[in-house]
Amino acid sequence: MTPDFPLWASQFKKQHRQLRAVAGCLHQFEALFSPWIPRHLLAPTDAGDFSRQRLWPLRLVFWTFLWQVAQAGASCREAIRQAQALCLLAEQSTPPETTSPYCQARGHRHLVSA
């Protein structure tokens, strides 16, 4: 069990079943699981990785990738569509439709080590 997410790890199975029963949209996924993720872990940093405003900020990459992993067989393209819908709901700029920036962002060292 990871020391950053002890409550989340123990509740994941229950919450995942609940999520599947409700729907599989990214905005619902984030709303359901965000109480177990400390906000400071997904906040922009002052310097270094994820310190500048990007099309794929850390918070968006994290939730999109977690959603993608939870949806068996979901493609990067579908994950990007979910992220775009989330951004539209929040009245934020949407990330590009191309998969390369998302795939690069999700493989970034800071995200993997968090």
pLDDT, tens digit, for every residue of 24-34?
788 888 888 88
Residue 41 has pLDDT above 60, yes or no: yes
82-97, pLDDT tens digit by residue? Answer: 999 999 998 988 999 9
47-102, pLDDT tens digit by residue? Answer: 565 555 667 888 899 999 988 988 878 899 999 999 999 999 989 889 999 999 99
Nearest-10 crossing angle of helices 6-22, 26-33: 140
Residue 109 has pLDDT above 60, yes or no: no
pLDDT at 86: 93
pLDDT at 114: 46
Give domain limits for the chain: 6-113
pTM, to two decimals? 0.70
